[in-house]
Chains A and B, each alone.
Chain A
Amino acid sequence: MQRTSLFLTLTALLAAPATAQAQAQTKGNVPASLFQSIGKKGGTLTLSLVSSPQSFNYFAVLDNNSYTVLNNVFDRLITLDPLTNKLYPDLAESWSMTPDGRTATLKLRKGVKWSDGQTFDADDVMFTLDDLASNTGLKANQSALFKIGKEPLKFTKVDQYTVKVTAPKPYGAMLQVLTFVPILPQHKLAKYNPVKDPDAFSKAWTTNTPLTDIVGTGPYVLSKYTVDQKVALVRNPYSWRRDPAGNVLPYMDKLEYLIIKSPDAQIASFRAGQLDSAPISGSQFPDLKRQELGGAKFRVIRGVGLNNPPVHLAFNQDAKDANLKKAFSDVKFRQALEYAVNRPRIVDTVFNGLASNPGFGVAPVSEWFNPLTKTMLSEFDLKKAATRLDALGYRDTNGDGVRNFSGGGPNVEFSLLHAADSSIMPGIATIIQSDFGKVGIKVNLQGVTGSTVLPTAMAGNFEAALNSFGDQPDPQLRKDIWQPGGALNYWHRAVQPAHEGDTPNLSAMQPYEKQIYTLFAQAEASGDQKKRKQWYDQWQLLFARNIPVIMIAKPDSVAAFQARIGNFYVKDNAVITSNYTMYEK
C-alpha cells in the first residue's frame, strides 16, 4: 500500500503546485486530475445511448449500453486515474502487496452505504468476486481475468473491511484485473442463488424490474426507465465521493440518457442543445469544429486516448491457399508489404487527420510503451516495396501487371476482409488495395457486416483482414490477442491449443513467436514490475521486427460537449471527464 499511496500523493503534489490545493487533496477521495475547477451543485446531465439497455444485471448481459448506464450505479474496488492511467483507490481505500507478489491485501472504504442505506462491506466483495465474477454460468463472467494458466485467483475475507487476493504463483496484473469488476450488493442478489441456478439469476434485474430494487454504491441510482426513450438516474443519497474541497459528488442532481439510435440524430440532438455531450467520430470533427469557431455554444476537443483501438492488417498464416500461406508466414514478405502501407494518407483522408501512429500492442501513452519502437514503423515507399518483392522472387512472369508466385505460379492475389459498415475500414481497405496494386499485388475487397468480421477471422475463414482491438494499460490484459496461441491470436490459429487454457502448440510456432510466448508467460507470473516492464519491452521489439500483423493507425479521442459544462477538458493530451465531476457553469 505504502508504495502506491505515496506515489499517488507525489503525483498529486506534482500536479498541483499550489499548497492549498495539495491540502485540499486530503479531503477529496477521487482522482484530482478529474477537476479543472471545483464545481457547483445542481442541474441535469443529459447524455445519449445508441440502444436500449438489455438488462440491468451486470454479469448476465454482454451489452455496452447496459454497462454505460450501470457504471454510474456500481463501483469497482480500484479504478484508474484518467490522466496517468495508474491505479487509484475506489471502494478499496488502500492495498498492500507481499514481496513475493502473490498476495494483495485490500482495505475497504469504511462508512460506504448501498443506496438503500445498507452497509457495504467485505461480504459484498466476496459475493461479487466468488459468486458472480468467477461464475462461468453467467454470460458476462470475468473468470478468464482471474486465471493464471489454469489456476484461478483465490479471494478470502479477513475481516469486515479487509479482503485478501492470493495468486497460485506471482501474478503481475493482479490489481489491474480488479479495475474491471463492479461490486454488486449481496443483500439484494444472493437470494437468486447465482452459483446453483445461474439461469434464474440471469432473469433477475431485467429491464422491467422495479428500479428501487437495483441498489449501488456509485454516484447515481436508477430512477426511471422509459422503454426506447430514456434512462433517468438521480444522485445516490449515500454517495461517498467528495471533491478536493470536501463537497459531495456528483455535482449534478440528475443524469439522463436519451436513447437515440442513429449517430446523425445524436448529433442533431446535441446541436439542438438537448444533449450535453455526444460521442463523435473523426469524420464529424471538422464540421463541428467549424460550427464551434462560428460561435456555436459547444466545444469540440481532441486528445490521445489509451484504449482507442488501433487498426491492424493481419495475414492468415494458415491460409487455405498453400502459396499464400507460405508468403504470409514469411516475415520478409510482410515487411515488403508494410512499405506499401500509406499511413499518412490513411490518417489524412480516412481519419481527417485525427489519428496517430500506433504502438506495437501497447498504446504510446501507456507507461508500458517501449519508446525504442517509436521509429520502427516503416515509411511509405513503393519502390522499396517493389524491390523487396522482386528480391523475394515474386515477379510478374506472365505480364498481366500482377506479380506471380515464384516459378511461374499463379497471381499473388488475396481478399481483404473488413467491416463494410464501419466509418473507417472501407476507406483504409481501398487505400491499401490501390497501393498494393501499384506494386503488383492484387487485393480483392471483401466487405462484410462489422459484427461478423472477427467471428469469420477467428474461424480461419479469410486471407487478409482489417481489424482492431482496444489497447489496455497492462499488456497482461491483452495476452489473448498478442501472445501466440491466445484465443484472439487469429492470424496464426495453428498454434492455438486444442482445448482452451491448455499449452499451445509450441512446435508450430516460429522462433520469434516462441520467444513472445515465453516473455508473456514470464511477465504473467511475476510480481516484479521492473522485470515485467523489461519483458514487455522485449516483446514490443520482437513485434516491431517481425510484424505478425501490420499496425496502421490509432484513432485520437474526440469529444463534443456544451460550453456550459465544466470539468470536461484536455490535459497532457488526455480527454478528461467523468459523469460525477461535470457541472453546470
Chain B
Amino acid sequence: MLSYALRRLLGMIPTLLIISVVCFAVIKLQPGSFFDQYRDDPRVTKAQIDAYNHRYALDQPNVVQYFIWLRNILFHGDLGYSFANDRPVTSMIGERLGWTVFLSVLTLLVSWLLAVPLGIYTALGQAAFSNPRKTLGDRVAIGANYLMNFFGYISMAIPDFLVALLLVGWLLAHHKTNVGGLFSPEFIDAPWSWAKVKDLLSHLWVPMIAIGLEGVAGLMRQMRASMLDVINQDYVRTARAKGLAPRTVLWRHAVRNAVNPLISLAGLSLPSLISGTIVASIVLNLPTIGPFLYDSLINKDQFVSMALLMFSALLLLLGNLLADLALASVDPRVRFE
C-alpha cells in the first residue's frame, strides 16, 4: 500500500507540471497585466509601469516567464508576489486558509451527516411502493419519500447564493441581526470566549443551510441511487434469506457497499475549498479564500490566481489519492495492482 501511495505521489509530478502549463496559459490569455490598469491613472507614468513590468519579468516572453515562475516555486518555495498588496502570495493565502478550511470541512460534514441517512431512508422507502397491500406505515413512508425527493429536487435547483439571499431577507424581516459574516461586529476581533462561540453558532447556521443544502440534495440522490442498486443484489437477498437481522443486512451488507461511490465523490470535493462557494461567500460576507481568488482574477494579480489555481489542482489530486486509499480500506475487493 505504501509503495502504491508513493507511486501515485510520483505520478502527480508530471500531471502537476502539465496543469501548471495550463494554469499559466489561461492566466496569460487575458490581455494585459496588472499594471496596465495604472495606465489611465495620471499619477503613474508610463516609465514607471514599464519599470514594474520589468521588475516582475512581465516584459519577458511568456515561455521565459513560465520558467522563472516554475524555478521560484521549485527552488525557492516562492509562489510569487501579490502586486496589489505588495506582499508574498504565500502569507496572504496563509492568513485566509483557517476560516476557509473550517467552513468547508464543516459544511462537508453537515451535508454528509444529513445526506447519507436521508439517501438510505428514501431508498428503503422505495420498498413501500411495491407492497401490494399498503399499510399505514407504508403510506407514511411513501409520503415522506415524496417529500424528501421534492426537497431534493428543489434544493438542487436553487443556487446557493439565492438561498443565502432569501435567508438574509427572512432574517431582516424578523429583525434579526445575524445577516452575514461569521460574527457580530463586536466579536470579530474579540478573544475566544463562550460568548464568542455562541455568537459564531448563531451566525453559522445560515451558511450551513445555504451552502450545505445543495450538497445534501446531490449526495442524497447519489446515495439513494447506489442503495437502490445494492438493495436488489443477490447477496442482499441471500443475507436476508439466511435470517440475518434487517439492521445487520442494511448496515453490513447494503450500506457498506453502497457508500463506495460517495467516497470517490468526497475526494473530488476537496478543491471546492477554494472555488466552491465564491458567490455565496460574497453574498453572506464570509471570510473565505473564494472572493480572494475572484478579486485576483479580476485585477489580473497573476501570481495570486496562479498560486490558487495550482493549489486547487493539487487538492484535487490529493483528494483523489486519499479517496482511493480510503476506498481500498473499506472495500477489500479493491487492490493496488
Contact = CB atoms under 8 A, between A and B. Distances in A.
Interface stretch (B136-144, B145-153, B176-184, B234-242): B176-184
Contact of A224 (B175, B189, B295): B189
Contacts, number: 127
A229 B287 contact: yes
B42 A144 contact: yes
Interface size class on chain A is 35 or more
A230 interface: yes
Contacts of A4: none
A136 B42 CA distance: 12
A435 B205 CA distance: 50
Given A264-B165, A455-B40, A269 B179 contact: yes
Contacts of B86: 54-55, 57, 60-61, 202-203, 206
Given A227-B95, A230-B189, A261 B282 contact: yes
B71 interface: no
B168 A265 contact: yes
B188 to A, nearest CB: 4
A208 interface: yes
A268 B84 contact: no
A34 B336 CA distance: 75
Given A199-B55, A273-B177, A454-B40, A208 B91 contact: yes
A135 to B, nearest CB: 11
Interface stretch (B44-52, B117-125, B126-134): B44-52
Interface string B161-175: 000010010011001
Contact of A227 (B96, B175, B295): B96
Contact of A62 (B41, B47, B180): B41
- Of the candidates B43, B47, B171, the one having the most CB atoms from chain A within 10 angstroms of its own CB is B43
Interface string B26-67: 000000100011111111111110000001000000000000
Nearest to A225: B189
A487 interface: yes
Interface in A176-235: 199, 202-203, 206-208, 224, 226-230, 232
B39 A258 contact: no
Nearest to A490: B40
Contact of B96 (A228, A256, A500): A228
A500 B189 contact: no
A426 B183 CA distance: 37
A139 B189 contact: no
B323 interface: no
Contacts of A57: 86
Contacts of A63: 84
14 contacts: A62-B44, A139-B48, A207-B87, A232-B189, A259-B287, A262-B283, A264-B165, A264-B283, A265-B168, A268-B180, A480-B42, A487-B42, A488-B40, A500-B45
Interface of A: 44, 46, 51, 54-55, 57, 60-63, 136-137, 139-144, 199, 202-203, 206-208, 224, 226-230, 232, 256, 258-262, 264-265, 268-269, 271-274, 449, 451, 454-455, 458, 480, 487-488, 500
The 4 closest A-B pairs by CB, nearest first: A228-B287, A230-B188, A272-B177, A454-B40
